Structure 1
Amino acid sequence: MAYDKENIFAKILRGEIPSNTVYEDDQILAFNDIAPKTPVHVLVIPKGEYIDMDDFAANASAAEIAHFFAKAGEIARGLGLHEGGYRLVTNNGENAGQIVPHFHIHLMGGQRIKEGSMARGMDGA
Protein backbone atom coordinates (compact mmCIF):
# COMPACT_ATOMS: atom_id res chain seq x y z
CA MET A 1 0.00 0.00 0.00
CA ALA A 2 1.32 3.43 -0.93
CA TYR A 3 1.17 6.37 1.46
CA ASP A 4 -1.98 8.47 0.96
CA LYS A 5 -0.89 12.12 0.93
CA GLU A 6 -4.54 13.17 1.40
CA ASN A 7 -5.05 11.48 4.78
CA ILE A 8 -6.17 13.75 7.61
CA PHE A 9 -2.79 13.71 9.40
CA ALA A 10 -0.95 14.68 6.22
CA LYS A 11 -3.37 17.60 5.90
CA ILE A 12 -2.74 18.59 9.52
CA LEU A 13 1.02 18.46 8.89
CA ARG A 14 0.59 20.74 5.85
CA GLY A 15 -1.49 23.18 7.91
CA GLU A 16 -4.65 22.57 5.88
CA ILE A 17 -6.54 21.35 8.96
CA PRO A 18 -5.98 22.92 12.38
CA SER A 19 -4.95 20.94 15.43
CA ASN A 20 -4.53 21.72 19.11
CA THR A 21 -0.76 21.26 19.27
CA VAL A 22 0.79 19.86 22.44
CA TYR A 23 4.35 19.55 21.07
CA GLU A 24 6.12 20.01 17.75
CA ASP A 25 9.67 19.77 16.46
CA ASP A 26 11.22 19.08 13.07
CA GLN A 27 10.37 15.34 13.24
CA ILE A 28 7.10 14.93 15.15
CA LEU A 29 3.81 16.58 15.95
CA ALA A 30 1.69 15.85 19.03
CA PHE A 31 -1.84 17.17 19.36
CA ASN A 32 -5.02 16.59 21.33
CA ASP A 33 -7.40 14.00 19.90
CA ILE A 34 -10.65 15.59 18.69
CA ALA A 35 -12.65 12.67 20.14
CA PRO A 36 -10.80 11.85 23.38
CA LYS A 37 -11.41 8.50 25.07
CA THR A 38 -9.74 9.63 28.32
CA PRO A 39 -9.26 13.03 30.02
CA VAL A 40 -5.81 13.26 28.39
CA HIS A 41 -5.70 11.82 24.88
CA VAL A 42 -2.85 13.01 22.67
CA LEU A 43 -1.88 11.73 19.23
CA VAL A 44 1.82 11.66 18.37
CA ILE A 45 2.74 11.41 14.69
CA PRO A 46 6.00 11.45 12.79
CA LYS A 47 6.33 14.08 10.08
CA GLY A 48 7.63 11.42 7.70
CA GLU A 49 5.28 9.54 5.41
CA TYR A 50 4.82 6.25 7.28
CA ILE A 51 1.61 4.28 6.90
CA ASP A 52 1.70 2.29 10.13
CA MET A 53 3.98 0.92 12.84
CA ASP A 54 5.25 -1.80 10.53
CA ASP A 55 6.22 0.76 7.87
CA PHE A 56 7.80 3.04 10.50
CA ALA A 57 9.83 0.21 12.07
CA ALA A 58 10.99 -1.08 8.67
CA ASN A 59 11.77 2.23 6.95
CA ALA A 60 12.51 4.98 9.49
CA SER A 61 16.09 5.44 10.59
CA ALA A 62 17.15 4.24 14.02
CA ALA A 63 17.59 7.90 14.99
CA GLU A 64 14.02 8.75 13.89
CA ILE A 65 12.58 5.82 15.83
CA ALA A 66 14.58 6.66 18.96
CA HIS A 67 13.60 10.34 18.74
CA PHE A 68 9.92 9.51 18.25
CA PHE A 69 9.63 7.27 21.29
CA ALA A 70 11.90 9.42 23.49
CA LYS A 71 9.73 12.46 22.72
CA ALA A 72 6.53 10.47 23.32
CA GLY A 73 7.85 9.69 26.79
CA GLU A 74 8.79 13.33 27.38
CA ILE A 75 5.32 14.45 26.27
CA ALA A 76 3.67 11.95 28.63
CA ARG A 77 5.84 13.16 31.52
CA GLY A 78 5.15 16.79 30.63
CA LEU A 79 1.43 16.09 30.80
CA GLY A 80 1.86 14.43 34.19
CA LEU A 81 0.72 11.06 32.87
CA HIS A 82 3.67 9.18 34.37
CA GLU A 83 2.39 9.81 37.89
CA GLY A 84 -0.78 7.72 37.67
CA GLY A 85 0.09 5.70 34.60
CA TYR A 86 -0.92 5.92 31.00
CA ARG A 87 -1.62 3.82 27.95
CA LEU A 88 0.33 4.06 24.71
CA VAL A 89 -1.58 2.49 21.81
CA THR A 90 -1.08 2.10 18.10
CA ASN A 91 -3.35 0.24 15.72
CA ASN A 92 -1.51 -1.41 12.85
CA GLY A 93 -3.64 -2.04 9.79
CA GLU A 94 -7.31 -2.45 9.02
CA ASN A 95 -7.86 -5.59 11.13
CA ALA A 96 -6.52 -3.75 14.18
CA GLY A 97 -8.87 -0.81 13.64
CA GLN A 98 -6.45 1.65 12.07
CA ILE A 99 -8.49 4.24 10.21
CA VAL A 100 -5.95 6.95 9.42
CA PRO A 101 -3.15 5.53 7.22
CA HIS A 102 -0.40 7.58 8.85
CA PHE A 103 1.54 6.00 11.73
CA HIS A 104 0.50 7.45 15.06
CA ILE A 105 0.32 6.58 18.71
CA HIS A 106 -2.32 7.47 21.26
CA LEU A 107 -1.10 8.66 24.68
CA MET A 108 -4.03 8.26 27.05
CA GLY A 109 -4.42 8.83 30.75
CA GLY A 110 -5.87 10.97 33.46
CA GLN A 111 -8.14 8.23 34.77
CA ARG A 112 -8.10 4.52 35.49
CA ILE A 113 -8.44 2.65 32.19
CA LYS A 114 -10.33 -0.62 32.38
CA GLU A 115 -8.82 -3.55 30.50
CA GLY A 116 -10.42 -3.93 27.08
CA SER A 117 -12.42 -0.71 27.45
CA MET A 118 -10.89 0.83 24.34
CA ALA A 119 -10.38 -2.18 22.14
CA ARG A 120 -13.02 -1.03 19.65
CA GLY A 121 -13.24 2.36 18.00
CA MET A 122 -9.87 3.61 19.24
CA ASP A 123 -8.67 4.94 15.95
CA GLY A 124 -11.47 7.33 15.16
CA ALA A 125 -8.98 10.19 15.00
Structure 2
Amino acid sequence: MSDCIFCKIVKGEIPATILFENDKVVAFKDINPEAPSHLLIIPKKHIASMVHATEEDIREIIPEIFKVIQHLAEEFGMTQEGYRIVNNCGKLGGQTVGHLHFHLLGGRQMLWPPG
Protein backbone atom coordinates (compact mmCIF):
# COMPACT_ATOMS: atom_id res chain seq x y z
CA MET A 1 0.00 0.00 0.00
CA SER A 2 1.62 3.21 -1.15
CA ASP A 3 0.00 5.40 1.52
CA CYS A 4 0.42 3.05 4.48
CA ILE A 5 2.68 4.59 7.13
CA PHE A 6 3.87 1.18 8.36
CA CYS A 7 4.69 0.03 4.82
CA LYS A 8 6.75 3.22 4.46
CA ILE A 9 8.62 2.35 7.67
CA VAL A 10 9.28 -1.16 6.30
CA LYS A 11 10.67 0.39 3.08
CA GLY A 12 12.80 2.88 5.03
CA GLU A 13 10.90 5.87 3.62
CA ILE A 14 9.88 7.05 7.10
CA PRO A 15 12.38 6.96 9.96
CA ALA A 16 11.72 4.78 12.99
CA THR A 17 13.75 3.44 15.87
CA ILE A 18 14.05 -0.12 14.59
CA LEU A 19 14.62 -2.63 17.40
CA PHE A 20 14.35 -5.86 15.43
CA GLU A 21 14.07 -6.86 11.80
CA ASN A 22 14.10 -10.09 9.85
CA ASP A 23 12.60 -11.22 6.55
CA LYS A 24 9.01 -11.26 7.91
CA VAL A 25 8.79 -8.80 10.81
CA VAL A 26 9.89 -5.33 11.90
CA ALA A 27 9.69 -4.00 15.47
CA PHE A 28 10.14 -0.37 16.46
CA LYS A 29 9.39 2.11 19.24
CA ASP A 30 5.95 3.72 19.23
CA ILE A 31 6.23 7.49 18.66
CA ASN A 32 3.36 8.13 21.12
CA PRO A 33 4.15 5.72 23.95
CA GLU A 34 1.43 4.76 26.41
CA ALA A 35 3.89 3.01 28.74
CA PRO A 36 7.60 3.29 29.61
CA SER A 37 8.20 0.50 27.09
CA HIS A 38 5.85 0.68 24.10
CA LEU A 39 6.93 -1.21 21.02
CA LEU A 40 5.15 -2.02 17.77
CA ILE A 41 5.64 -5.32 15.99
CA ILE A 42 4.41 -5.51 12.40
CA PRO A 43 4.63 -7.90 9.47
CA LYS A 44 6.61 -6.63 6.50
CA LYS A 45 3.79 -7.87 4.31
CA HIS A 46 0.86 -5.48 4.21
CA ILE A 47 -2.07 -7.13 5.99
CA ALA A 48 -4.82 -4.63 6.81
CA SER A 49 -5.91 -6.37 10.04
CA MET A 50 -6.43 -9.82 11.55
CA VAL A 51 -9.67 -9.98 9.56
CA HIS A 52 -7.55 -9.91 6.40
CA ALA A 53 -4.94 -12.46 7.50
CA THR A 54 -4.88 -15.54 5.29
CA GLU A 55 -4.36 -19.09 6.54
CA GLU A 56 -0.78 -18.81 5.30
CA ASP A 57 -0.30 -15.54 7.26
CA ILE A 58 -1.68 -17.20 10.40
CA ARG A 59 0.61 -20.19 9.92
CA GLU A 60 3.81 -18.31 9.00
CA ILE A 61 3.74 -14.64 9.99
CA ILE A 62 1.69 -14.51 13.21
CA PRO A 63 3.88 -17.10 15.02
CA GLU A 64 6.95 -15.13 13.95
CA ILE A 65 5.44 -11.96 15.41
CA PHE A 66 4.90 -13.70 18.75
CA LYS A 67 8.47 -15.05 18.75
CA VAL A 68 9.68 -11.48 18.27
CA ILE A 69 7.37 -10.26 21.05
CA GLN A 70 8.81 -12.88 23.39
CA HIS A 71 12.37 -11.88 22.45
CA LEU A 72 11.72 -8.14 22.89
CA ALA A 73 9.87 -8.60 26.20
CA GLU A 74 12.94 -10.38 27.52
CA GLU A 75 15.38 -7.88 25.99
CA PHE A 76 13.49 -4.92 27.49
CA GLY A 77 13.21 -6.51 30.94
CA MET A 78 9.46 -7.02 30.88
CA THR A 79 9.35 -10.73 31.70
CA GLN A 80 9.81 -10.38 35.47
CA GLU A 81 6.95 -7.97 36.19
CA GLY A 82 4.73 -8.62 33.18
CA TYR A 83 3.58 -6.89 30.05
CA ARG A 84 0.61 -6.50 27.74
CA ILE A 85 0.21 -7.46 24.09
CA VAL A 86 -2.52 -5.58 22.20
CA ASN A 87 -3.94 -5.98 18.70
CA ASN A 88 -6.69 -3.55 17.78
CA CYS A 89 -8.83 -4.82 14.93
CA GLY A 90 -11.09 -2.51 12.96
CA LYS A 91 -12.69 0.81 13.81
CA LEU A 92 -14.64 -0.38 16.87
CA GLY A 93 -11.56 -2.24 18.09
CA GLY A 94 -9.60 1.01 18.08
CA GLN A 95 -7.36 0.30 15.07
CA THR A 96 -6.02 3.61 13.72
CA VAL A 97 -3.42 2.35 11.22
CA GLY A 98 -4.68 -0.05 8.56
CA HIS A 99 -1.72 -2.41 8.80
CA LEU A 100 -1.71 -5.37 11.17
CA HIS A 101 0.33 -4.51 14.25
CA PHE A 102 0.80 -5.60 17.83
CA HIS A 103 1.61 -3.29 20.72
CA LEU A 104 3.99 -4.57 23.37
CA LEU A 105 3.59 -2.48 26.52
CA GLY A 106 5.48 -2.77 29.78
CA GLY A 107 7.13 -0.94 32.62
CA ARG A 108 3.95 0.05 34.48
CA GLN A 109 0.82 -1.45 35.96
CA MET A 110 -1.73 -2.16 33.24
CA LEU A 111 -5.38 -1.53 34.14
CA TRP A 112 -8.50 -3.46 33.23
CA PRO A 113 -10.72 -2.81 31.44
CA PRO A 114 -8.33 -1.08 29.06
CA GLY A 115 -10.81 1.45 27.67
Go from structure 1 to structure 2 and tell me whether the alpha carbon gap of 1:115 and 1:61 turns closer, same or farther (over 3 Å shift).
closer
Which runs of structure 1 show a deviation greater than 4 angstroms over 4 or more consecutive aligned residues? Answer: none
Alignment of 1:2-21 (within 5 A): 4-21=1-18
Distance 2:85 2:17 in 1: 19
Alignment of 1:41-120 (within 5 A): 41-56=38-53, 58-60=55-57, 62-116=59-113, 118-119=114-115
- How far residue 5 of structure 1 moved from its aligned partner, in angstroms, is 3.1
Gaps of 5+ in 2: none
Q: How many residue pairs align between the two structures? A: 115
In structure 2, the partner of 1:122 is: none
TM-score after normalising by structure 2: 0.91
RMSD: 1.5
Distance 1:64 1:17 in 2: 23
Gaps of 5+ in 1: 120-125
Aligned identity (percent) is 36
- How far residue 54 of structure 1 moved from its aligned partner, in angstroms, is 2.2
Go from structure 1 to structure 2 and tell me whether the alpha carbon gap of 1:59 and 1:17 turns closer, same or farther (over 3 Å shift).
same
The Cα offsets for residues 3-49 of structure 1, whole Å up to 9 and x where unpaired, read as: x4311101111111100111111111100000000000000000011
| Larger displacement relative to structure 2 (56-65 or 23-32) | 56-65
Distance 1:84 1:73 in 2: 14
TM-score after normalising by structure 1: 0.84
1:39 is aligned, of 18, 36, 39, to 36
Distance 2:56 2:47 in 1: 8
Go from structure 1 to structure 2 and tell me whether the alpha carbon gap of 1:57 and 1:109 turns closer, same or farther (over 3 Å shift).
farther
Distance 1:61 1:32 in 2: 24
Q: Is the 8 A contact 1:57 1:65 kept in 2?
A: no
Q: Is the 8 A contact 1:23 1:30 kept in 2?
A: yes
